[in-house]
Amino acid sequence: MSSGGNASSLPLVGGMPEPTIKELSKPGRRAFNYPKLDVPEEVIEHEAIKTEKAPLPEVSEHDLVMHFSRLAHRNFAVDLGFYPLGSCTMKYNPRFADWVASLPGFSNIHPSTPSHLSQGILEILYILEKYLIEITGMDYASFQPPAGASGELTGLLIIKEYLQRKNLNNKKNIIVPDSAHGTNPASAKMAGFNVVEVSTDINGLVDVKELKTLVNDETAGLMLTNPNTGGLFEEEILEISKIIHSVDGLLYYDGANLNAIVGVCRPGDMGFDIVHSNLHKTFATPHGGGGPGSGPVAVKDFLREYLPGPIVEKSDDKFSWYQPKYSIGRMHGYHGNFLVALRALAYMKLLGKEGLDDLGSYAVLNARYLASVISKSLPLAYAKPCMHEFVATVKDLKKSHKIKAYDVGKALLDRGFHSPTIYFPLIVEEALMFEPTETQSVDTLDDLSETISIIIEDLKLNNQNLNTYPKNLPVGRPNELIPAKHLTVNWGDFELLEITE
């Protein structure tokens, strides 16, 4: 129960504010009854045993189910409507993958089960590793990182350990484009590197001329996502990789945008040495609220012994755990989020080689179509054809009508669409970033574009009421910063701070 608001301050839905589960409580009501005792009763007497009743809500099963179903219906969800969130990729959650992950042999196994009793699990990770290294052009992978950001930190710690073992201790700088996802510089810093920013040129690509001036003996490596966060393919990637390798730096691929290139091209062939893949974005399992995810890190052969261990090995048709010699250590208590990895494998098997080869092409086709129809009402930030996502901007509408990206996002929520990502990438003023993914139909894409054009006309006409959107949702414009900085999960302690400007 965490809508974070005060029930009475929420606009009414269906005429009724939703009471809290505590308010629904009536003494004696139960959602569950234990079966009659069929063994001799044993009374345990110990000073630590509580005598008073725990202050838990007492509700019937039906009241409980209705309460949480009502709350669930107040949320936007990937199964309810289009979620065109650029960069964060909210794609359809294939039921087949969910079904596979729910099979008891997978969902009930304890991660400490010894390898001779969990050969099937190890085999799955082994097969998925083979698929992933084929898709990314790498040689070995570890499934420990539970998300993309954790994959980044893993990759950077690998770079650090590798450079130290080579006595290249002068290499302290990681170059990161100014368009990068915030996790890139944060991960570099956490791994103990200095972050050196390289600019984006007017075409939305890494400024290679500037890059050359930034690279020197202190360069440890470069982090890049390709296509970049503007949705554009870094055409100079082979040149970029040559520049970094010429000073013995390493190239790290942020695989959050792998969706665009699966089956089309491979980071390994572009010159990258380390890749994390966001399985939760590219192969089933849409992620929201930070998890659950899976960000396996794959490396070229020369970095295998630095991977977080243990990793899976196969010999004589048997699978076992192998601890790499110079391993950076663990990035997860066990072996990563196995069920997310399993869903990814199920999705790959469902699509087959042909389907996987089409995945990236369809993702790009959908994004290019959406960009072409949306550009009739919103100018695009870059003229180049996009890959799987694109950035539009309302900077001119802000000047002429005070309309902000935030207003468009909020008005969209009112009309049954989730907002695109807004204010990212940071280098584009009043940015709205759209990513349709490969599974949206052309009808849905047309609906979104038509709705945006209606919204823009409406906001232009009614721009004195801009901050009244959304009008029809339980929560309007909560302050997004305060809950992030001062997390309070107790009901009643939290004030829903509305933005009033």
Interface residues toward ligand PLP, by CB under 6 A: 87-88, 147-149, 181, 183, 225, 229, 254, 256-257, 278, 293, 295
Closer CB to ligand PLP, 388 or 410, in the complex: 388
Closer CB to ligand PLP, 59 or 90, in the complex: 90
- C-alpha torsion sign, points 134, 136, 141, 147: negative
Q: Are 379 and 447 in contact (CB under 8 A)?
A: no
| Nearest residue to 276 (alpha-carbon basis) of 204, 328, 223 | 223
Closer CB to ligand PLP, 142 or 449, in the complex: 142
Closer CB to ligand PLP, 67 or 281, in the complex: 281
Closer CB to ligand PLP, 255 or 324, in the complex: 255
Cis peptide before 146 (omega within 30 of 0): no
CB of 423 to ligand PLP, least distance (A): 14
Residue number with the smallest Cβ distance to ligand PLP: 148
Closer CB to ligand PLP, 337 or 366, in the complex: 337
CB of 276 to ligand PLP, least distance (A): 8
Rounded Cα distance, 479 and 500, in Å: 10
Which is it for strands 297-299 and 140-142: parallel, antiparallel or unpaired? antiparallel
Cis peptide before 292 (omega within 30 of 0): yes
Token pair for 425: 């990438």
Rounded Cα distance, 307 and 288, in Å: 27
DSSP 18: P
CB of 51 to ligand PLP, least distance (A): 46
CB of 346 to ligand PLP, least distance (A): 19
CB of 232 to ligand PLP, least distance (A): 13
Rounded Cα distance, 450 and 43, in Å: 68
Rounded Cα distance, 204 and 341, in Å: 33
Closer CB to ligand PLP, 252 or 406, in the complex: 252
E runs forming strands in 292-352:
297-299, 311-315, 318-322
CB of 149 to ligand PLP, least distance (A): 3
CB of 359 to ligand PLP, least distance (A): 18
b/e 18-48 (16+ beta carbons within 10 angstroms → b):
beebeebeeeeeeeeeeeeeeeeeeeeeeee
Q: Are 158 and 274 in contact (CB under 8 A)?
A: yes
CB of 217 to ligand PLP, least distance (A): 28
Closer CB to ligand PLP, 148 or 296, in the complex: 148
